[in-house]
Amino acid sequence: MRGTLLILIVVGFLAQPVRAVEQKLIDAAVDRGVAALKTRLKIGGGLGGQELGATALIGLTLLECNVAKNDPAVQQVATAVRSGAVSSTHTYSIALSILFLDRLDQASDTPLIESLLVRLLAGQQISGAWTYQCPAPDDQEIRRIQTEMGGGLRVLRGGRDLSKLSPKGKRTVNELPEAIRAQLQRITPAQPVLNLGPVAVGMTGDNSNTQFATLALWVGRRYGVPTQPALLRVDDYFRKTQNADGGWAYMPGMTASSATMTCAGVMALALGHGARNEVRKARDPNAKPEDASKDGPIKAGLAALSTVVGVPQGPPRRGVPQLPLPALSGRSFYFLWSLERVAVALELDKLDRKDWYNWGAELLLANQQPDGHWAGDHAAYAADTCFALLFLKKSNVTRDLSGSIVGLKGTPIVLRAGGVGGAALKGVPALGPTGIGDSPAKAPSEVAQGTNTPRTPNNRLSPRPDEVAELSQAALEVIRATGKERDRLIERLRDSKGVENTEALLQVISQLDGPSRHQARHALAERLTRMKESTLKNYLSDPDAEIRRATALAIAARRAKSLTGDLIRLLEDSSPLVQRAARTALQDLTGKNFGPDEQASAAERNRAIALWQRWWQEHSGD
């Protein structure tokens, strides 16, 4: 739903040439990180549901860190992914399962990969983007996948002889099973590229889900699944939604670009080049590929990213003062992997003459925890550790893209404009506790509660100086006000039109505490009751837990019974704050109380959700 201004990072500009981080230090950090992931798997086992994507990400990371395919940890992930992905509809999970299984490279996984690719293609919105969910496979498709996978390389009952398939990259649509070809005919648009015109604010889809789906489709085209038309629609979508500063926000129409989403945009445009070059070569083997160095949107995106990258200090040297490296948190690790993915795919050693890799490596080595993991917003499922390791290993999930993008290799990207955030970046201090990702940092104790700013022991009610640059004027007015004046300002944000007032309420919630925070949360829920049901449905997938919580309560207040099924799915949300709101909303909306209780075990929670689902199946037509 939202984007946040990028934070300019200045980690120390040195007059002397910067020496690289020692490889032995990087290798040691990688070894500790891999050990932390294996420990996580031993403790937590395979993750299911929407966390299937996190499980696949762990497996992909282990393989990229040169862990053997037959290692027990990798095999544990493979078993969990094969089981969960068969029926998965979660966009992140589908995409990461494809990336992991492709990297595992077992022919027996081909039927599952093909089916997952069809689900992704069917989930692409008219805008060219993706939401959190894709269409579900029917029971017949699930049985077909299980039958084909069950026999290993050579299937004996009604399947294909997978051992006779052409090598990946040389397969054609004709090698796909009849069931897959039939599904493709039902979802493939008649035209190769949609002429969309401007993409409207609030159009379904977000750039985070979209970047993962796009990466998976690029990998998937080597299985004979025709993904190029979808990739070209993604390219069209990102070209039409680029902000004036060269960056991209979380969703179209938002003026505040973010670092990670700018990486997503640049990567999508690069994959668009790759797709067009493949189509051109198929038509004419002698055709020259496009020169990406002349692509204005790509150059603008890279220039914007260069404003976020700092300069590494290098190892300590006598007589040269060493600045303290900042503490990374929030979505910093997600951003660093996104940056690495773009720079490696495009073979860029520097951005605006700055060594992005050594800068990021210094930050990561300084922020590794004693037990080997990294912790930000996504630490609960070890995703931050995966992001850090993939950065340090210079992982390249689009290996066959590198080298095919003409004109950019070694090109020094020079900033010629304001970059992401433009003038708003001027004067922003060096990286502080707020991190460098798409949102302010979250204290470990508050991640589950969905708040956006860490609290000090005395629960301060005023923002730090480095936070002020990120807060809107309306939010600052509320935070600095007291008593009845603060109440009046919160009510004004509740009642005023415009997405900027929703943004301000979210910022206020993250900064206040006690009765004032309760009032702001109530105001946000009231505000959302004015939204259409289709908008509320989209908000249930927003990355901010506060929005999901408020939306659940707004659905109950509006008596929007058509969204009961969506509220039931929210009982499995990663945030306890949202789970509680979903349970309260369901009880209010239906007059029923199937639980789960606050202290319910996993088994009790699953039983309660099953009771809700059964009740809804019986009463959804009422």
Tokens 């040691």: give the residue.
28
Task: Quote the pLDDT of residue 32.
Answer: 96
Instruction: List the structure tokens of 114.
Output: 């093909």
Q: From the centroid of its chain, how far is CA 304?
A: 20
Least confident window among 314-328, 381-395, 548-562:
314-328
Kindly report, residue by residue over 221-235, the tens digit of the pLDDT.
889 999 988 999 999
CA 316, 27, 73: angle at the middle one, nearest 5?
Answer: 150
Q: Which of 80-89, 186-195, 508-517 has the highest mean pLDDT?
A: 80-89
Predicted confidence band at 200 (pLDDT cuts at 50, 70, 90)?
Answer: very low
Say if residues 208 and 544 touch (Cβ distance below 8 Å). no
Q: How far apart are CA 231 and CA 218, in angstroms?
A: 7
Neighbours of 320 (CB within 10 A): 13
Average pLDDT, rounded, for the chain = 77
The greatest distance separating any two alpha carbons of the chain, rounded to the nearest whole angstrom, comes to 78
Kindly report, residue by residue over 104-141, the tens digit of the pLDDT.
999 889 999 999 999 999 999 888 999 888 888 988 98
Say if residues 238 and 193 touch (Cβ distance below 8 Å). no
> Is the alpha carbon torsion for 145, 148, 152, 157 positive or negative?
positive
Task: Quote the pLDDT of residue 391.
Answer: 96
Task: Quote the pLDDT of residue 461.
Answer: 29
β-pair partners for 288:
none
The residues, any chain, with a CB within 8 Å of residue 76's CB and separated by 6 or more, are 41, 45, 46
Instruction: List the structure tokens of 22.
Output: 């020692």
The angle that helices 545-558 and 576-590 make with each other, rounded to 10 degrees, is: 0
- Higher-confidence residue of 482 and 218: namely 218
List C-alpha distances in Å: 425 to 4, 31, 241, 419: 12, 37, 21, 9
Closest CA to 347 of 285, 403, 290: 403
Instruction: List the structure tokens of 78.
Output: 């493979």
Task: Quote the pLDDT of residue 406.
Answer: 58
List C-alpha distances in Å: 107 to 27, 56, 62, 148: 31, 18, 20, 11
> Is the alpha carbon torsion for 17, 334, 103, 121 positive or negative?
negative
Instruction: List the structure tokens of 535.
Output: 């908008």
Say if residues 41 and 74 touch (Cβ distance below 8 Å). no
Task: Quote the pLDDT of residue 402.
Answer: 62
Kindly report, residue by residue over 132-165, the tens digit of the pLDDT.
888 889 889 898 888 888 744 344 344 567 777 8
Task: Quote the pLDDT of residue 413.
Answer: 43
Predicted confidence band at 203 (pLDDT cuts at 50, 70, 90)?
Answer: very low
The residues, any chain, with a CB within 8 Å of residue 163's CB and separated by 6 or more, are 107, 153, 154
Say if residues 305 and 261 touch (Cβ distance below 8 Å). no
Residue 548 has pLDDT above 60, yes or no: yes
Task: Quote the pLDDT of residue 424.
Answer: 25
Residues 493-496: contacts with CB within 8 Å, 24+ apart? Answer: 493/523, 493/527, 494/523, 494/524, 494/526, 494/527, 495/527
Instruction: List the structure tokens of 168.
Output: 């990946």
Q: What is the DSSP letter of 174?
A: G
Q: Which of 189-193, 243-247, 393-397, 455-459 has the highest mean pLDDT?
A: 393-397
β-pair partners for 581:
none
- Higher-confidence residue of 574 and 436: namely 574
Kind and range of the H or E element at 559? none
Kindly report, residue by residue over 340-390, the tens digit of the pLDDT.
999 998 888 888 788 899 999 999 999 999 999 999 888 888 999 999 999
β-pair partners for 248:
258
The residues, any chain, with a CB within 8 Å of residue 518's CB and separated by 6 or more, are none
Tokens 């002889």: give the residue.
161
Task: Quote the pLDDT of residue 503.
Answer: 81
Residue 13 has pLDDT above 50, yes or no: no
β-pair partners for 364:
none
Residues 313-320: contacts with CB within 8 Å, 24+ apart? Answer: 313/11, 313/12, 313/14, 313/18, 313/362, 314/14, 314/18, 314/19, 314/20, 314/358, 315/19, 315/21, 315/22, 317/16, 320/14, 320/16
Q: From the centroid of its chain, how far is CA 13?
A: 31
Domains and CATH numbers, the chain: 23-425 (1.50.10)
Say if residues 242 and 125 touch (Cβ distance below 8 Å). no
Residue 333 burial by Cβ neighbours in a 10 Å radius (0-12, 13-18, 19+): buried
